Amino acid sequence: MTAFAVLLWREVLGFVRRPSRVVATLGTPALVWVFLASGFAGAQTPGGESFGVYAAPGVALLVAVFGGLLAGMGLIQDRRDGFLAGVLASPAPRWSIAGAKVAAATLLAAAQGLLILLAIPLAGGLLTVGGVTLASGALLFASAGVCGLSLAAASRIESPQGFHGVMNLLIMPMWLLSGALTPLDDAHPVFRALAAANPLRWGHEAMLGALRIDNAGALAWVVAAAFAGLGIGAAMLAIGRPARGRAKARR
Amino acid sequence: MNESPVRLIGVTRRFGDTVALERVSLDIRAGSSVALVGPNGSGKSTLLGLLAGLATPDGGAIELGTAAGRAARVGVVHQRSALDPILTVRENLALHAGLCGLKRSASRERIRALAQRVGLTDRLHDRVSTLSGGLARRCDLARALLHEPGVLLLDEPTAGLDAASRRAFVELLDAERRERSMTVIHATHHADEAEWADRVVMLDRGRISADAPPAEMLAPLGERVVEAPGEPGASVGLLERMGLEPFATAHGAIARVTPGVDLAALLESGHEIRVRRPTLDDVQAVRLASDAERVS
């Protein structure tokens, strides 16, 4: 097995064997969804569907955000436990170490977010295979962006508290300004401007479009894909870069 | 033929304003074992980190090669275990075999053989979190040997182990070294572990303060030393009153047994003293005391 494959396998196995991580990633967003769906049951939505259906893509995005946070915390834990030093000192290329970390975090976050999307019929919505497939793509982009940024930040921040603080300050406002809870068309111009610059908003819009809950243009997909590229690139640079030109083997 | 697969040439490493290593130069012969000793913060772990490729020097150069002139494979046993506690012993070893690029069939065979060597065959399917400290360190050693490295680096691998586990680990390491003709560089706080090495390199505040075979390093202390355990100041006073020239240590004081010293009379004096073989800890204490005297 290649270094990439074994590290991916380790991340997935570690996730499965830690049920607390599944609960932490999926449990809170699921509860948020249930509360929102019941609390705003009478709220008006752009397409006239129930609020539970409207909120589902936003909650799937929240799952991706939590997945990203946990991936970053996992990296800090690996560094503290000594596991990361063992991996970095191995002959495995750094790009494969960074790539496996991002790929595993993205796949796990997107897979859990997909469970929320698949539960849309419970809120009275309709799903099509094409719609779910497209929405999964948008979710994958958003997960890659969030997980990549989270891993890049975690590779530079020593303490879990510091990491949590920084990510809460950065990612949670991004989620709130994504339109996950409410359409932003009538929001204050400042918030609309901030939302326009927020890549998660475009990922969310792409999901809404894919599921035919709201309209989404090509721009939403382009920005969502660019955000994924940005996250992956940041993680590859932060984790994948050798420590200032690794000791040379010469002769 | 390359006689020195590990070579450091004027290596300097800083952390902000702190100089962790300052112009350190070392040539290490192929197949030899070197013990790095020194107090906390002397630069042992920094030096091993540079050799492991976890960081790069701010100045100087590091060369790692094999006798045949190829880049050396390096195995590392870190101060903290590099195993994932949630995975089993076999899964951890398979993971690291994958990181080293071993094919699945070769990795299976290597894991089986190494588990047997380090005494973990019965525990291959147990999670690492269930292993004792000593067994976990053995598993770490097996992990570091999976790709048959030419150079093995160990950073205080026995820290936190009891005396029996420590001894077992060092014996295992020595057997592996002899069988595989590996170059071993081993940072340790334990004098008895350093004494089995071919050569001892003593680090102090980022510089090499001594570099010699253990016997040569111990020679100035003679065959025996007198030790007075206790608070160092009081112990130094006690040995001085006995007419000796003491040096403070972490656990009391020691003094050389020079010709003319009546050991029987000292032992019968009723004070809590003992006569024993000198160790590298004593050498270090004497050196630190001499340095302090020079400075003052």
Q: pLDDT digits over B105-157, tens only?
A: 899 999 999 999 888 999 999 999 999 988 999 999 999 999 889 899 999 98
pLDDT bin (cut points 50, 70, 90) of residue B295 is: low
Amino acid of residue B130: T
Residue A13, pLDDT > 60, answer yes
Residue B54, pLDDT > 50, answer yes
pLDDT (tens digit, 9 = 90+) per residue, B192-203? 788 889 999 999
Measured between beta carbons, the chain B residues lying within 8 angstroms of A98 are: none
Measured between beta carbons, the chain B residues lying within 8 angstroms of A17 are: 86
The residues in A 60-99 lying below 8 A from B, measured between CB atoms, are 81-83, 85-92
pLDDT at B244: 86
pTM passes above 0.80: yes
Residue A12, pLDDT > 50, answer yes
pLDDT (tens digit, 9 = 90+) per residue, A171-202? 889 999 998 888 888 888 999 999 999 999 99
Q: How far apart are the first and last CA of chain B?
A: 48
Residue B289, pLDDT > 80, answer no
Judged by CB atoms closer than 8 Å, whether chains meet at B104 and A250 is answered as: no
Measured between beta carbons, the chain A residues lying within 8 angstroms of B63 are: 248-251
Which stretch of A42-51, A92-101, A134-143, A192-201 has the lowest confidence by average pLDDT?
A: A42-51
The residues in A 8-27 lying below 8 A from B, measured between CB atoms, are 9-10, 13-14, 17-18
Among residues B175, B166, B204, the alpha carbon closest in space to that of B33 is found at: B175
